[in-house]
Structure 1
């Protein structure tokens, strides 16, 4: 998934092939107790409010990497500093294998070293199923009163998943903050299609992590196109409305559009950490990684798409635990046999909301990356239009293109509108409602996931739960590790018994105000029945264990 200009690529390589990318994992952090006692030294008030609203506690991963460790390692012989992650307590460096390994003997606080070239790690090996490093073009021309909007050429893509129904109720993303992490945002500061968000102060900031620069109105136009699916707005002779025109935005550059190196994974994690710091609610990323300019860094779709191997996926999973919805394009490798047609990273993350593409008729788009993951989980999660999708280009004209890069932001804006309409919900609940609303939720597949969402239905699933106040609900579903239970307000506790499809009793436990979680990590994949009882009341729910 990389834009390839072979001649320019040869000229632009910054490091010789003898130089290795590596992550240095640290054993501890300084002043942890002090930071945790003074949370505003780590996060903004908006970020803390998001945590409080979702019942998320501060922890070790929120504490910054010890600055002196960064200084020490950056100044070490033969070492070039790339970036650092507080979530993973790691520093990304470039150096010869010998110079990188020497760090562990020089600095006692180093816990371990992980080379991006897996063959250099203890027990590491090169797999024969890795795809060759031949990069294709990564960025293909890819209330009771109701308000009526004219979406112009975006009409079909909006109506397909009923985002327009939320707009009619005046849920247009106001109060929701979205971080777009991409390859660049040229002309967003001048493009007429973004006049509305500029005039209203909806662009809250950004950063270019690739060039370590405060100027984020630069780089590849891919990010500008992506942003227009959410924030673009024309209401004159030209008509166009994005999926969340009232949302606020941070714009972060983590992708260098020409060379493909592991450094971009670290830049992404740094951007996600900054998004957490400023209080972002939703991250949209229309990026993904499979192969690199140097094949020794390539991923193996048979073994590495397990939700925990890649640095970027581990970072994305932590972002989810901080209360953000992490939305990622599935990728455009659907017909790439060398990659098995699979999703890339971080789209393989269990809690990354992975978005595939359909055409204007709602049929699977041939290029959209598919599942399953290496550990046989369903991907993508859902799909919206990404083939023949309309956007505002950097010249300010409405154009059309193909790519899951386009379906991802389209849905991200819709999720913002849904969350605006359901402000008391957690990120997990919002994702679950979208999944349950999708067209083939009961019969998912590895091309479409759960299918095309219906945001009007997603909202009604929650509204019915709130208003009827008489049913038990569970999420996430499907689940991998734990299932959380929502009891009606009138019910203080319930007993739950979990049965397999043969009727065998697997789990029995009590659910109450303090114990709302059912651990299912030890169960085999498949269908289970959860029977809840309370006095004369009984309710049975189906659970899918991934």
Structure 2
């Protein structure tokens, strides 16, 4: 009897969870409100307008219809039926299970809140909203632990605060073996997200890149970009996707490794990769007859360098270590880092000072080398045994920079590889006085983003201009001659509304001194214009 009762109870649990509920989904905004209100015949009949005018009833945002795009997306949600809509409340009545309705909060950023018809469910709804908010903050505000200095040095943390963590971007890591990446706790987050998109060992012609007994260099390199140990270590591009390619034959130095590299780059191109990180360089070989001379490091002689040039032509951005020959007889940047189409990364210590082992530039090379530098002495890594440690060399300054670049490119998806490279160079600490040790210096990725936004978004049209950008305390608005007012709303990058102002030609400024440093969205709406601008707050 007890077994039967237990069976019935178990049957009732999914029924209760899947029972159909009614709820109102309240939306955050409407489409083109200012223009609709200014041209009421687009939303109301003339008779309705006449009646409102006759009774001195103001036509306002409540008269504007619900955004049909939002409704279409809600109709496509799993388990949801749209039953009705209200423009006055800017809400949609839906029917579905409690779980499916609450999942709408996670799936759609345009939802403000949800109210269930069964009021006893609304308490649980608020908890779910709060939990989602906390989860989102966790993705963008990290405790970097040991990796903090190397990320903050190039302002990668500022991009993370703006929710640019590499999402949607793809990196191909061309390196030695990736021992234990498939089992390490440090890459559990990466694996769970499905962000290891593929792998291949071009040396052994198989996909066993994880068990090579000597192949741990790729593991260490990958950790600087994608490693994650809660409150202990965060890589600089934790939400990017990765292809892992073994092209380096550890025990041997032979030109065939250049061919493996080019073959991997070709595959990366076919897979739609954005950035290649290569912590590899080729100069001399076991057979001296195969070796290059320093004169060959001219940006177009080595096979691998010519391959890197084609990779650039195909639209990928190759980030490569400068090499570690600064103290030996070779001394200069090797291939493929000698290419003018490769972003070559040298090494500095934790204080930003040149590390003497970092390979230097030369007049032989057709462009400034190295291009930039990042921390390459005592860089924080995670070993193949899940141990946080340090290691030195441009092998680590390169992926740190590559990871920062994919976050920047995520923020500026319309930029070309050449434009991204130039933004990074121009943001660097000694752009106007480069040298052969540090190149253009240490990049400031927040400044690179700010520079791009101020050109591309702030002044793309002349209807409403916002300045300065970046802003410190007060932001000013310049209205075109045909504008009498603009409605201004400021949101953070998570969509939370923070401030509102009504701007006119004579009252044209807004105090933002209370905002924390970061990137914000300023939404501008007037009779003639509706647009959103990203602004950096220092």
Report TM bin, short chain.
Answer: 0.5 to 0.7
- Match in the other structure for 1:230: 225
Query: Given the alignment of the two structures, is residue 252 of structure 1 paired with residue 233 of structure 2, yes or no?
Result: no
Q: What does residue range 125-164 of structure 1 map to in structure 2 within 5 Å?
A: 147-164=140-157
Compute the displacement of 1:213 (Å): 0.8
Compute the displacement of 1:206 (Å): 1.1
Separation in 1, partners of 2:151, 2:365: 33
Compute the displacement of 1:376 (Å): 5.2
**Structure 2: 5+ residue stretches without partners:** 1-135, 462-538
Compute the displacement of 1:215 (Å): 1.6
Separation in 2, partners of 1:333, 1:216: 28
Compute the displacement of 1:423 (Å): 1.1
- Match in the other structure for 2:307: 315
1:83-114, Cα deviation, whole Å (9 max, x unpaired)? xxxxxxxxxxxxxxxxxxxxxxxxxxxxxxxx
Q: 1:348 aligns with which of 338, 348, 362?
A: 338
When you count helix as a share of all residues, which structure comes out higher? 2
Would you say the 8 A contact 1:173–1:245 is kept in 2? yes
Query: Given the alignment of the two structures, is residue 380 of structure 1 paired with residue 375 of structure 2, yes or no?
Result: no
Provide closer, same or farther for how the CA distance between residues 373 and 294 of structure 1 changes in structure 2, counting only shifts above 3 A: farther
- Match in the other structure for 2:269: 276
The normalised TM-score by structure 1 is 0.58
Q: 1:406 aligns with which of 396, 399, 408?
A: 396
Provide closer, same or farther for how the CA distance between residues 209 and 164 of structure 1 changes in structure 2, counting only shifts above 3 A: same
Separation in 1, partners of 2:459, 2:412: 15
Provide closer, same or farther for how the CA distance between residues 360 and 380 of structure 1 changes in structure 2, counting only shifts above 3 A: same
Q: What does residue range 37-436 of structure 1 map to in structure 2 within 5 Å?
A: 147-219=140-212, 220-236=215-231, 239-301=232-294, 303-336=295-328, 338-339=329-330, 341-372=331-362, 374-375=364-365, 377-436=367-426
Secondary structure at the residue paired with 2:319? strand
Would you say the 8 A contact 2:253–2:285 is kept in 1? yes
Separation in 2, partners of 1:425, 1:259: 39
Larger radius of gyration: 2
Would you say the 8 A contact 2:299–2:366 is kept in 1? no
Q: 1:439 aligns with which of 418, 429, 434?
A: 429
Separation in 2, partners of 1:147, 1:421: 14
Would you say the 8 A contact 1:145–1:169 is kept in 2? no
Compute the displacement of 1:470 (Å): 6.3
**Structure 1: 5+ residue stretches without partners:** 1-142, 472-546
Separation in 1, partners of 2:298, 2:431: 23
Q: Choose between structure 1 and 2 for higher RCO, CA contacts under 8 A separated by at least 6 residues.
A: 1
Q: How many residues align?
A: 325
Separation in 1, partners of 2:298, 2:460: 38
- Match in the other structure for 2:97: none
Compute the displacement of 1:148 (Å): 2.6
1:59-103, Cα deviation, whole Å (9 max, x unpaired)? xxxxxxxxxxxxxxxxxxxxxxxxxxxxxxxxxxxxxxxxxxxxx
1:332-390, Cα deviation, whole Å (9 max, x unpaired)? 00111x21x10110000010110000000000011100001524532000000010110
* Greater CA drift, 372-381 or 159-168: 372-381
Q: What does residue range 510-529 of structure 1 map to in structure 2 within 5 Å?
A: none
Separation in 2, partners of 1:373, 1:272: 28
Separation in 2, partners of 1:297, 1:146: 48
Separation in 1, partners of 2:365, 2:162: 41
Provide closer, same or farther for how the CA distance between residues 192 and 373 of structure 1 changes in structure 2, counting only shifts above 3 A: farther
Would you say the 8 A contact 2:340–2:366 is kept in 1? no
Q: 2:442 aligns with which of 433, 436, 452?
A: 452
Would you say the 8 A contact 1:184–1:216 is kept in 2? yes
Q: What does residue range 465-544 of structure 1 map to in structure 2 within 5 Å?
A: 465-469=455-459
Aligned CA-pair RMSD: 1.8
Compute the displacement of 1:146 (Å): 10
Separation in 2, partners of 1:146, 1:310: 42
- Match in the other structure for 1:58: none
Q: Which runs of 4+ in 1 moved over 2 A?
A: 143-148, 467-471
Compute the displacement of 1:145 (Å): 12
Would you say the 8 A contact 2:140–2:165 is kept in 1? no
Provide closer, same or farther for how the CA distance between residues 144 and 308 of structure 1 changes in structure 2, counting only shifts above 3 A: same
Provide closer, same or farther for how the CA distance between residues 439 and 146 of structure 1 changes in structure 2, counting only shifts above 3 A: farther
Secondary structure at the residue paired with 1:452? coil
